Structure 1
């Protein structure tokens, strides 16, 4: 069965039976109305979405409007669909048989007829392929593992449960980890600017076992947080910067100037340090510099001990993921 020049779409559903028994794929956002009335301009979809959902987060407008646009305008009869059903943990592969239709009486109002061709166990696919169709998006294109899904459709099925080592596992696990790191850093940059980041760093230090005192906001001492490991010296003077640009040597020198004999310094930034600043830190061992990447690693390590306020701000769920055996 040829699939050259055919797009392979992935889709998720909360109601497996709607898709499988109804022989269709569908998406919601019923308030958007008949998508054909919006036209074929992507910007018009964004404008309509923002008007219909005025409280939508800015980042979700383009994503959601893009899915609606593709479902209505880019899907073609003859394209393939990959749908992972949760109720039976199968991967269902079908072909689009119908044009876009709008059924306002149904919650999932935008629909397309599909003929389901195969219903396969998840063990028939590599971990990488399963990760791709596990996308956080409702409707998306399948690219990286398209050949694997089409091979399965053409009866060239490989049972990955019998494979001693799945080569895609290592890459998949690293992708998940990197996505998590990116998410944390983006949320820090988005939600914690200025004094808010100082309060967060103080709570992180508390989770690490330090007693912390946040300096009055607006002070000109150059010290944002004072931390102690126990009741006795030494004290650690902390400076926190949420700026986007890399930290310069002169900025770290200002922290050094505020330190007394016996003090230690800690500089925390969401970005990084210039080469001169890195060299200065290397030559000044009483000051430790933490960049955005290192801050994320500390957050992951001490996440469970963070204040609930920050756990809600950066929601994470502990899971176990397969990793490639390097022995």
Structure 2
């Protein structure tokens, strides 16, 4: 048992294949348009070509990963391997042993025709597993190999009673929260970079500044180095006046870019440079010597968005659809 490979599998986003899994003693993956895969050559390239033909709109970047799942289901998964299915409906992890080869069958649940027979061995509540094991089995992929916490699942099959470490001692708690936050930040930057090139990002910055309590407006289109004017008073005549330059690219802003903005500042005015990318070391050195200049890179920009997101109007929330969730936070021993 210690050598048995263990796989994780999901039954769709809402558990729509659960009845197929548990009542017909099998596991399955979708990809119905691929048809019967048993006639394909046992190479990843053959599966990739079939996938490209069946799903011509698939994104090229994820083609190898997605098409690789049916390949692994047929040629890497073996009879005798273990499989763990985390149910969204009964909140249990069902662990079984694969007892049959791949077969193509559309009865019962036609959207999951790629199947393998399984003998279910254990049905264990999720709370019996460590946070790390739950995190690994929560992979976004529909089928995947469990590696890091495989021994924890194998031990359950061998009859051991899971005794996970207390949550406060589980190092994966902080890792889960950090990865969720990192993924959210990446999503925001990618969305802004793809959807708001040039002037649209400047308008977005205007809205963000308004949500922060400033009055803000776009400058004339022929105004070099200054894209937005912000101020606290309604008329925009009382100091301080803030001149903002917005860079929508994800590259590195140079000290030349920053000094161009600074050259537009009059006495008593402040400069704010916002970029989705980063700033060169020379730019940061330039900033340190100027008390009326502030540089905000992509990471800090996302922090401002998250901090004022609740004040966004429906249009801007629609651009960045986010939902408030609570995630575990590891506490210091003190």
Normalized against structure 2, the TM-score is what? 0.88
Q: Encode CA deviations 1:158-177: one digit per residue, 9 max, x unaligned.
A: 33486664343222222222
1:189 aligns with 2:193: yes
- Map of 1:45-56 to 2, 5 A cutoff? 45-56=47-58
Is the alpha carbon distance of 1:95 and 1:310 closer, same or farther for their aligned partners in structure 2, counting shifts above 3 Å? farther
Aligned counterpart, 2:230: 227
CA contact (8 A) 1:123 1:159 kept: no
- Name the stretch that deviates more: 165-174 or 262-271: 165-174
Pair 1:253–1:164, CA change in 2 (3 A): closer
Alpha-carbon shift at residue 26 of structure 1 (Å): 0.8
Q: What runs of 5+ residues in structure 2 fail to find an aligned partner?
A: none
C-alpha distance in 1 between matches for 2:55 and 2:34: 9
1:257 and 2:267 correspond: no
- What is the CA-CA distance between 1:53 and the residue it aligns to? 2.5
Compared with structure 1, are the counterparts of its residues 314 and 139 closer, same or farther at alpha carbon in structure 2 (3 Å cutoff)?
farther
Are the counterparts in 2 of residues 267 and 288 from structure 1 also a CA contact under 8 Å?
yes
Corresponding residue number in structure 2 for 1:314: 320
Residue pair 1:124, 1:161 contacting (<8 A) in 2 also: no
Length-normalised TM-score, structure 1: 0.90
Aligned residue among 93, 97, 103 for 2:105: 103
Matching residue within 130, 133, 137 for 1:133 = 137
* Residue segments in structure 1 that go unaligned for 5+ positions in a row: none
Aligned length: 324
Within a 5 Å distance, the mapping from 1:203-214 to structure 2 comes to 203-214=207-218
1:261-306 CA-to-partner distances (Å, cap 9, x unmatched) read: 2221111111211111111111112111111111121122122222
Root-mean-square deviation (Å): 2.2
What is the match of residue 6 of structure 2?
8
Partner residue of 1:18? 20
The Cα of 1:182 is off from its aligned counterpart by 2.6
C-alpha change, 1:89 and 1:274, in structure 2 (3 Å) is same
Which residue is 1:42 aligned to?
Answer: 44
| Contact 1:77–1:99 under 8 Å retained in 2 | yes
Tell me what 2:292 maps to.
286
